[in-house]
């Protein structure tokens, strides 16, 4: 019987490494290899270093670093020290980092020397200490170690920032139980074992990326963090490190399928997992042909509830468009506007219930109330549920199919992009009266950004492009910028985004 078939024992997330075989490899990479016992000792030293700053329990500690031992251990070290981890996407620039620091109330930021140097005056809140990643790495090689914590399952362990369709990124509050059960669930349905080796190519600031670590470790396997520059770097890692498991997003799969994989290298992969956007039928066909010995797991997730559904590999060929069904510990309902459960093939809102549901948005009661609401009466779990805003349908076999998204999120290369964030940066440029960012179809990225500007100055686009390159990360950069003399309006006088999308969103 697998772990997820039983009532699970929920431990503090920093106990994770204690479950592995002490002698087996747990982490490998450019900084060297660590067995489970060595990594547990290293974790204790990092936690001891964090505790040495005397921060109050529950204080937020942010990390803005590339992949490596420090980044891999921070999700465990901060909670062990009684602190809350706030991982920051390494691709973000100073303005986004400043927002996350201020919003989270972070009292400490660990960053690479180069990244810390980009912070402008006013970016760092008063009382927030800055420390170099090198200092944290040095602390991990010696010093006093902190033992496993006695945190309760519902204690806050992490805040992960995710973009919304309106406003700035919001922090999703995750408990020890959220992280622990997410790791157990994924390890269970993927069938991970101590013999597995996972290539961690996704950012650890994403719940999907962080779970690469946690699910592999809870199964006793080894992780290989990689900040890759090209898809060929990923192929080389698979070959050199005998990688069995690779998690990715559709744009990465497109790039990987364009490479000439030696059959003996492709055969090393036993498991491919996808989230952050749906796989197209042609892409599924290419992956199946290129990696015939690998099981393919299409998945659907929400940061607010971690992961909701997956499609078993045996059903991929016969149901390539399906999102699958609920993962372990998740209860997924398709709900009518009146709160009732839909009939087979009737569209409704996907509602996620159960213990994977996060604790809401950090210090944002209004937006929490919009997304986190009481579960429908039909829920066997009850309590608070995540009302996704996504429209899906359920067939007679219980498989779910995506119909549409209610919000205006742009999903590009696996990144969730807030149109408002781009628009606010654009209107900061003199001469720009209004701005609208649209997501347009792109074969490689899933969606690309098209930016519309209302301005009387026809040459303002170049100025805006230069400003955005300085202020926003690469994945937010518009593919195209158009300058319009006027925007259409709806009866309330607001910009008619639907009309603009209809005309320019192609």
Using one digit for the tens of pLDDT, what is the confidence trace for 444-472? 888 999 999 999 898 999 999 999 999 99
Predicted confidence (pLDDT) at residue 282 exceeds the cutoff of 90: no
Interval 42-53 mean pLDDT: 98
pLDDT at 491: 56
The CA-atom distances, in angstroms, between 411 and each of 272, 439, 448 are 20, 8, 8
Whether the CA torsion 38, 40, 46, 52 is positive or negative: it is: negative
Confidence of residue 2 (pLDDT cuts 50, 70, 90): very low
The domain made up of 410-504 is a member of CATH 1.10.1660.10: no
Beta strands 446-454; 434-442: pairing state: antiparallel
Q: What percent of the chain has pLDDT over 90?
A: 80
Chain segment 370-385, per-residue pLDDT in tens: 999 999 999 999 999 9
Of 435, 445, 448, nearest to 506 (Cα)?
448
Contact in structure between 386 and 374 (CB atoms under 8 Å)? no
Chain segment 65-89, per-residue pLDDT in tens: 999 999 999 999 999 999 999 999 9
Q: Quickly tell me which residue has 């290129």 as its tokens.
A: 290
Of 357, 350, 355, nearest to 372 (Cα)?
357
Beta strands 309-310; 322-326: pairing state: antiparallel
pLDDT at 6: 56
Residues 6+ apart with CB under 8 A from 408: 165, 166, 419, 439, 497
Contact in structure between 111 and 90 (CB atoms under 8 Å)? no
CA distance from start to end of the chain: 50
Alpha-carbon distance of 11 to 122, in angstroms, equals 39
Identify the architecture of domain 1-225 in CATH: 3-Layer(aba) Sandwich (3.40)
Alpha-carbon distance of 38 to 54, in angstroms, equals 26
Whole-model pTM: value is 0.87
Q: 194-218 burial, b for 16+ CB within 10 Å, e for fewer?
A: eebbbbbbbbbbbbbbbbbbbbbbb
Confidence of residue 3 (pLDDT cuts 50, 70, 90): very low
Confidence of residue 1 (pLDDT cuts 50, 70, 90): very low
Interval 341-347 mean pLDDT: 96
pLDDT at 221: 98
Confidence of residue 421 (pLDDT cuts 50, 70, 90): confident
Alpha helices in 171-273 (DSSP H): 176-190, 207-218, 231-240, 250-257, 263-266
- In the chain, what are the domain boundaries? 1-225, 410-504
Chain segment 244-267, per-residue pLDDT in tens: 999 998 888 988 999 999 999 999
Of 27, 12, 109, 18, nearest to 67 (Cα)?
27
pLDDT at 362: 98
Q: Which residue has the higher pLDDT, 296 or 441?
A: 296
SS3 277: coil
Bin 387: left if φ > 0, else alpha if -120 < ψ < 50, else beta. Answer: beta
Chain segment 147-190, per-residue pLDDT in tens: 999 999 999 999 999 865 456 789 999 999 999 999 999 999 99
């Amino acid at each position: 019987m697998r772990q997820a078939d039983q009532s699970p024992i929920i431990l503090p997330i920093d106990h994770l490494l204690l479950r592995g075989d002490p002698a087996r490899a747990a982490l490998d990479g450019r900084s060297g290899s660590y067995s489970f016992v060595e990594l547990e000792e290293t974790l204790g030293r990092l936690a001891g270093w964090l505790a040495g700053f005397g921060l109050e329990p529950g204080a937020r500690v942010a990390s803005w670093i590339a992949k490596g031992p420090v980044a891999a251990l921070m999700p465990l070290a901060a909670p062990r020290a009684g602190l809350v981890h706030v991982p920051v996407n390494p691709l973000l620039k100073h303005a986004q980092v400043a927002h996350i620091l201020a919003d989270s109330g972070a009292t400490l930021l660990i960053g690479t020397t180069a990244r810390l140097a980009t912070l402008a005056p006013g970016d760092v809140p008063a009382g927030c200490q800055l420390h170099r990643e090198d200092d944290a790495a040095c602390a991990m090689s010696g010093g006093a170690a902190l033992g496993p914590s006695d945190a309760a399952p519902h204690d806050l362990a992490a805040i992960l920032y995710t973009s919304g369709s309106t406003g700035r990124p919001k922090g999703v509050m995750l408990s020890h139980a959220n992280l622990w059960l997410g790791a157990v669930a994924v390890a269970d349905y993927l069938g991970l074992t101590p013999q597995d080796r996972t290539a961690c190519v996704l950012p650890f600031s994403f719940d999907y990326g962080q779970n690469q670590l946690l699910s592999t470790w809870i199964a006793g396997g080894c992780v290989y963090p990689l900040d890759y520059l090209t898809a060929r770097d990923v192929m080389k890692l698979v070959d050199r490190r005998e990688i069995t498991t690779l998690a990715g997003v559709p744009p990465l799969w497109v790039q990987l399928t364009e490479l000439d994989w030696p059959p003996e290298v492709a055969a090393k992969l036993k498991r491919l997992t996808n989230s952050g956007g749906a796989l197209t039928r042609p892409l599924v066909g290419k992956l199946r042909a290129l990696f015939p010995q690998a099981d393919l797991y299409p998945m659907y997730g929400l940061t607010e509830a971690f992961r909701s559904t997956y499609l078993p590999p045996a059903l991929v060929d016969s149901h390539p468009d399906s999102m699958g069904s609920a993962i372990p510990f998740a209860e997924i309902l398709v709900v009518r506007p009146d709160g009732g459960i839909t009939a087979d093939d009737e569209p409704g809102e996907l509602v996620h219930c159960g213990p994977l549901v996060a604790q809401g948005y950090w210090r944002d009661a209004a937006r929490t109330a919009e997304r986190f609401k009481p579960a429908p009466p039909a829920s066997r779990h009850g309590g608070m549920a995540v009302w996704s805003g996504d429209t899906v349908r359920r067939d007679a076999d219980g498989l779910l199919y995506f119909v549409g998204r209610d919000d205006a999120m742009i999903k590009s290369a696996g990144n969730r992009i807030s149109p408002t964030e781009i628009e606010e940066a654009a209107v900061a440029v003199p001469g720009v009266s209004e701005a609208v960012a649209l997501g347009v179809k792109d074969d490689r990225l899933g969606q690309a950004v098209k930016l519309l500007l209302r301005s009387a100055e026809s040459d303002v686009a170049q100025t805006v492009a230069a400003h955005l390159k300085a202020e926003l990360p690469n994945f937010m950069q518009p593919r195209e910028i158009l300058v319009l003399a006027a925007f259409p309006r709806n009866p309330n006088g607001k910009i008619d985004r639907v009309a603009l999308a209809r005309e320019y969103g192609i």
